[in-house]
Amino acid sequence: WLNTTERMGMETTTLQFPFPYEPYSIQKQFMEALYTTIDEGKIGIFESPTGTGKSLSLICGALTWLRDHEEKKKQEAVGLLEERDVTMDSSSTQPPQGHCSSPALSSSTEPNWIADFVQKKAERELVDKLKVVQNESKQWVLRGEGGFTAFLSDQDEEARRLLRLSAESGEEDGKGAVLGDGEEELIVADYESDDDGKPKNSRTHSQLAQFVHEVQKSPFREEVRVVSLASRQNLCINEEVRRLGSVQLINDRCMEMQRNKHGESDKSTDTEPKRRRREPKAVCPFSRHEALLGLRDETLVKVRDVEDMVVLGRETKACPYYGGRLAVPAAQLVVLPYQVLLHEAMRRASGIKLKDQVVIIDEAHNLMDTIACIYSSEVMGTQLCCAHSQLTQYMERYRNRLKAKNLMYVKQILFVLEGLVHVLGGTEMLTINNFLFRAQIDNINLFKVQRYFEKSLISRKVRGEPGNHLFTLRRRKFFGTCQKVAEEDKQSSVVCPMIQVEGFLSALTNANKDGRLVVQRQGTLAQDSLKFLLLNPAIHFAPVLKECKAVIIAGGTMQPVADFKEQLLLSAGVSEERISGFSCGHVIPPQNILPIVLCSGPSGQELEFTFQNRETPQMETGRVLSNLCNVVPGGLVCFFPSYEYERRVLAHWNSTGVLGRLAARKKIFQEPRKASQVEQVLKEYSRCIQAGAVLSGALLFSVVGGKMSEGINFSDELGRCVIMVGMPYPNIKSPELQEKMAYLDKHMPHVGGQSPGKALVENLCMKAVNQSIGRAIRHRGDYACIVLLDRRYSRPGTLQKLPEWIRNRTQVQPTFGPAFGGIRKVRLALMWYIT
C-alpha cells in the first residue's frame, strides 16, 4: 500500500493507492493528480511516456477514487436512513390530534393538518435524498480504447428488450409461425415524424485486451467487476453468421435472426389476413433467455477480455455480444472501443448515458482526428445510383401498401439522390449550404429525413428487397445518368448503398461553418465521390464534456498540447479553470537515452530535407546510416516522411552501391504496404537480431504515419537507434488541409504571432515525429539513441514540441564528428553499465 497525503482545501486526507509493486515516484504523482482531477470534476490532459506504467497508474488511481467514492456514498446513505428513523420515531410519539401534552402546544393556533403536512414533506425530502445517494452509488467505471473510462448505471435498452422478448417467447421455441408471403417484414411501419401536427479493427481490440491484462495484474483483480464490450464481428460465436465476414452483413444477419426469434412484424400489417403456414425462419441458438442470464453472471465473476468472453460464450452456449451488455449495470469497469463512446448514435444504441459519469480516454494522441474521421462520410457515384434504383423498385413494388407519409418521405429521398448525382462530374470544395444549393435540395428538411431513416429503418428494408437491383428508372434524364454508371461499374459489388447514403445525409445536418463538401472527379462517374469533412470535432465532443463529471485525456505522447486545449476543449465551451494538465518524465536513467539533432553529415553537407531540395542530401543520409551501422548494435529503425520518398531514396542508394554497403553490415528489412504482411516482417526482423549470426543486427526502413510508426514496440535490441529522416510535414496543397487551416485562422486565436493554420501544420508534423521516436524506449532498463536528421529540428519552437523527457536531454550537433563520437562513447558506457 502506498500512503500519500493530499491537501484538499483546508482538509488533509490520506490517500491509499493499492499497487502491485513499489511504484515509481512519477507513478505516485500520476495517481495523486488523477484522483484530484476526478474528485474535483475537471478535464485533465495526462501525459506519461510509454514504458512508465501509465495504464496501471490509470487503473489504480481511478479505482481507488471509485472505492472512496462508494464508501462515501454508503456513509451518506446510512446517515440519511438514521435521520429518517429519528424523524419517524418523533412522528410516532406525538399525541393524537386535539390532545397536546404541552401547554405551549395546546395554546398554539397552528392547525394539526399543517403540522402533518410539514412532517410528511420532511419525510419525502429524506426519501428523495436517499434515492439520489442510491443512484449515485450505482455509477461504475467504464473504460475504452484508444480507451475510455466512464461510470454507467443504466441498462442497455437493446439488451433489456432482448431479455424481455426472449422470456416471452421461451415457451414458443420450435413452433411454426403463421406468416405472410415472405415480404411482410419489408413494409415500413406507419410513420409520423416527431413534429408533424405540433406547434414547434483489429488494433483497437488488441489494445483493449492489453488494458484488461493490466487490470488482471492489479490489486483490484479479485474485487473489481469488469465487462468487455466489442462489435458483433469480434464477439459472435455463431459460425453461420461469422462466415459472412463483413461487419455490415454480420450486423444485418444478427438482427434478422433476432426478429425471427421473437416473431416481430410491422404494425402496418397487423390487419392483413393470415396466409399459409411457412417453415420457421432461422434463429440464433445462442440467444436463449436463461443462457444469456447465465453468461451475464459468469462475466462478472472474474476479469475477462474479449477473447475470454468468446470462450465463455461457447462454453455457456450464450451470445457474448448481448450477454456482455446485460452485465453492464452491475459492472464497475466496462471496456469498449472508441466509436461506441464518441459516436452519438452508437452511444445511444448501446444504452450508454454519460450524465455525471467519468470518462478516461487512453491512447488519446489522435483523439481529434478520430472524432473527425468518425463523423466524416463519403459516398460514391455508383452507390448513389444503386440506392436510387433499389428505392425506386421498392416504392413501385409496395406502393399500394405504403402509407401516405411513407410515400412522401420515400419520394423526398429519391429527389435528394437525384440532386446528389447531378453534382457529380467535377472537382471542387463547397460549404454545406452551397452544396445544398448546387444539388437543388436546399428546400428539403434533412433533419426530418434523418429521423425518418432512423425510425423507419428504410435502409435495411430496401437492402432486403428481393429484386435484382437493375437500373430500371423511369425518369428519362436521371435514367441516362444511372445507366452510364451501371455500364462503367458492371463489376462493382456495392454493399449497403442506402446505409452509406443515410450516413452521408446525416453528415449534411452539421452547421455550415463546421464542415466542407469535397466533390471529387475520379475518372468515371461510378468512381466520382462526394465527401463530407468535419472541420470542428469539438461540436461532437462537447456533449461528452458537458454531461460527464470528469474527463481524463491520457496518452504516452500528448505534445503539442495546445491543439487539444484550443480545438477540442475551449472550442467546446469548457472554461480554462476546468482544464488541468499533468506531464511526467521517463523512468529510465538520464544516460539511457541520447537524442541528437544532426545538422550536417560526414562530408559537411547541410541536412535540410525541404520539398525543394530533399534530393540533394540523399547520399549524405546514406553515409550517416553507414557510420551508425558500424557502431550501433542490434536493430536500427529508419523513418522516412513518405512511402514515395522512401522508394526514391532506396532506388538511388541501390544504383550507387550504398544499399549494398548497408546490407553487408546489417540485414535490411522494409515496411510492407499491406497490413497483413507487417507481423511476418516483424517476426523475421526480430529473429535476425536475436540470432546474432554473421551480420550484426538488422536495419528496418519504415514510414512516418505508416504501419510501424504507431502501436509497434522496438524495445531492447529491436531498436537501439531510431533515425528520423527529414520532417514529415503533411501535403500543404491538400484541399482538405487548406480548408482546415482556413477554418482555424478564422475561428481560433493567434498565439505567439503565428496563425492557427500554420501552427496546425507544425503540430501535425511533430505529433507524427513524437509517435515514431517514442517506439524505442519501452521500460526502465531500456536504452537507445534518437537521431533527428534535419537542421530544422534545432529551431527553439520545434524543440519545444518534443516530449519533455526527450527535449531535456536533446543535443544539437552542428557537425557530424562530435555527434558520432558521442554515440560511440555512450554505446560503450551503456554496455559497461548494463553489464
DSSP 437-505: HHTT-TTS-HHHHHHHHHHH-HHHHHHT--S--------HHHHHHHHHHHHHTTT-----HHHHHHHHH
Report the distance separating Cα 772 and Cα 709, nearest Å.
Answer: 5
Confidence of residue 154 (pLDDT cuts 50, 70, 90): very low
pLDDT in tens, 166-210: 444 444 443 333 333 345 555 666 665 555 444 445 556 677 888
Backbone angles phi, psi at 553, to 5 degrees: -110, 110
Report the distance separating Cα 33 and Cα 6, nearest Å.
Answer: 10
pLDDT at residue 81 greater than cutoff 80: no
Q: What is the pTM of this model?
A: 0.79
pLDDT value for 468 = 38
187 or 796: which leads in pLDDT:
796
Parallel/antiparallel/unpaired status of strands 226-228 and 550-555: unpaired
pLDDT at residue 116 greater than cutoff 70: no
pLDDT at residue 464 greater than cutoff 60: no
Grid cell in block for residue 292:
444469456
**Is the dihedral angle over the CA atoms 348, 349, 354, 359 positive or is it negative?**
negative
Query: Mean pLDDT score of the chain, rounded to an integer?
Result: 78
Confidence of residue 162 (pLDDT cuts 50, 70, 90): very low
The CATH architecture one would assign to domain 25-71+548-583 is 3-Layer(aba) Sandwich (3.40)
Identify the H or E element spanning 554: strand 550-555
pLDDT value for 193 = 58
- Range in 187-196, 366-375, 819-828 the model is least confident about: 187-196
Q: Using CA atoms in the order 597, 603, 607, 611, what is the torsion angle rounded to 10 degrees?
A: -160
CA distances for 588 relative to 776, 777, 779, 805, angstroms: 12, 8, 7, 10
The CATH architecture one would assign to domain 376-465+496-535 is Orthogonal Bundle (1.10)
**Is the dihedral angle over the CA atoms 714, 715, 716, 721 positive or is it negative?**
positive
Confidence of residue 638 (pLDDT cuts 50, 70, 90): very high
Locate cell 534535419: which residue?
A: 790
pLDDT in tens, 299-357: 888 899 889 999 999 999 999 999 888 888 888 888 888 888 888 888 877 767 788 88
Report the distance separating Cα 153 and Cα 132, nearest Å.
Answer: 13
pLDDT in tens, 118-150: 666 666 666 666 555 555 544 444 444 444 444
Report the distance separating Cα 82 and Cα 520, nearest Å.
Answer: 69
**Is the dihedral angle over the CA atoms 378, 382, 383, 389 positive or is it negative?**
positive
Confidence of residue 89 (pLDDT cuts 50, 70, 90): low
Confidence of residue 828 (pLDDT cuts 50, 70, 90): low
Locate cell 492557427: which residue?
A: 756
Report the distance separating Cα 459 and Cα 782, nearest Å.
Answer: 54
pLDDT in tens, 210-260: 888 888 888 988 888 888 888 888 899 999 898 888 787 888 888 888 877
Task: Compute the average pLDDT of residues 803-822.
Answer: 89
Task: Name the CATH topology of 593-832.
Answer: Rossmann fold (3.40.50)
pLDDT value for 443 = 93
Sequence-separated (6 or more) residues with CB below 8 Å from residue 79: none
Confidence of residue 478 (pLDDT cuts 50, 70, 90): very low
Confidence of residue 542 (pLDDT cuts 50, 70, 90): very high
Rg of the chain, C-alpha, whole Å:
32
Locate cell 529508419: which residue?
A: 638
Q: How many other C-beta atoms can be found within 10 angstroms of the C-beta atom of residue 282?
A: 14
Report the distance separating Cα 625 and Cα 646, nearest Å.
Answer: 14
Q: Could you give the residue range(s) of every CATH 1.10.275 domain in the chain?
A: 376-465+496-535
pLDDT in tens, 581-595: 898 888 888 888 889
135 or 687: which leads in pLDDT:
687
Confidence of residue 679 (pLDDT cuts 50, 70, 90): confident
Q: Could you give the residue range(s) of every CATH 3.40.1010 domain in the chain?
A: 25-71+548-583
pLDDT at residue 85 greater than cutoff 70: no
Nearest to 407 by CA among 456, 368, 467: 456
pLDDT at residue 368 greater than cutoff 80: yes
Amino acid identity at 830: L
Cβ proximity of 571 and 563 under 8 Å: no
pLDDT in tens, 701-754: 999 988 776 666 777 888 889 999 999 999 888 888 999 999 999 988 887 778
pLDDT at residue 10 greater than cutoff 60: no
pLDDT value for 444 = 93
pLDDT in tens, 752-765: 778 999 999 999 99
Amino acid identity at 582: F
